Structure 1
């Protein structure tokens, strides 16, 4: 029985599909390794002191492949920030947050969920955001642009959340989506994480409970 249609080079369609799948898996594994090593080096040495050559050597790839796939150090940091926002779960954190907002009947329980998401994501995202901030402060134009993009995207996400809460009737009467978004924007700033977790030694869970309590007090 035939197992597949042969191409002129003698390979079957199933073989080509299998080979393509293996290449994609290998490429994704290499990408994860590069990002992991880049994160370690950036957070240990700082943005300016870390070179693409160092990241490539630590990842077991060529510097050229990093430039090809990420476009340089700023591209790596952007990819690290985007990766951090996914959280630790199999489903991206934003999707889980949206689902929680759709299902929520008790606004206080939803604020607790927001606190849990913050405790999950902030240890991943805040150090990268602070790296971006510090690099931008040195005058690096690419990182200054990235810092602006990150802040705009974060506020856009908070406004999205606030509008969903408004539509569900879960906010305090008279509170506008814009005001709610600003409060959530302030609660998710990396500088707050830096003050309480990095400088004061709070645990992520304690920090998440604080965020939940703060949102409850100011939004409900």
Structure 2
């Protein structure tokens, strides 16, 4: 029985290692050649595996891009929920509203900076690539779920300005922390990340906190 458990762990670790190689290879190709210029065959060759292995471990090209997106969002591929990661625990345990919004803006900026290359890829071509449009739509829905969790925590602690309920806070934060706003400020307006973080903090405070 112990040997069987060891064999299963070894297979699982081998599968995870292979998946990491595929996702890492795909990331480099997507960013270098674009979505249209990247094929599963190229990804397989770059990762040193067969196309069949790519499909088995990750999926088709759209699924591979989603995997790349998710890893860049989290910063790694460890099976740890976002809500249980240290940066989110700091927000949960923030002593007051301003500390919470400051931690939120810091984390949002860090994620935006980390994801900027893939955000530019997705939002730069979503109008002509159905797979990219689907990814953007899926990511927006996932982000709204996370924003709702934040809003419930924020309102539940009594931090919101009078008159704002959870839905109001969701709408405000979901827009201000959108990839489109980050790219507009950093890519188009050429704000440095520190300046974006400061802008986001101030804007969140002005929109959400009592006067």
- Normalised by the length of structure 2, the TM-score is 0.85
Q: Which residue of 2 aligns with 1:34?
A: 22
Partner of residue 147, structure 1: 136
Deviation at 1:108, TM superposition (A): 0.6
Distance 1:110 1:195, change over 3 A: same
Counterpart position of 2:6: 18
Offset of 1:74 from its aligned partner? Answer: 0.3
Are the counterparts in 1 of residues 18 and 57 from structure 2 also a CA contact under 8 Å? no
**Aligned partner of 1:53 among 21, 34, 41:** 41
Unaligned runs of 5+ in 1: 1-12
Q: For 1:104, which of 94, 105, 108 is the aligned residue?
A: 94
Measured in 1, the distance between the counterparts of 2:23 and 2:104 equals 27
Measured after TM superposition, the shift of residue 154 of structure 1 is 1.2
**Preserved contact between residue 91 and residue 103 of structure 2 (Cα < 8 Å):** no
Deviations 1:132-151 (A, max 9, x none): 3344311x434333322211
5+ unaligned residues in a row in structure 2: which ranges? none
Against the structure 1 CA distance between its residues 185 and 70, is the aligned structure 2 distance closer, same or farther, given a 3 Å change threshold?
Answer: same
Q: TM-score, normalised by structure 1?
A: 0.82
SS in 2 for 1:48: coil
C-alpha change, 1:123 and 1:144, in structure 2 (3 Å) is: same
Structure 1 vs Structure 2 CA RMSD:
2.3
Larger Rg, first or second structure (1 or 2): 1
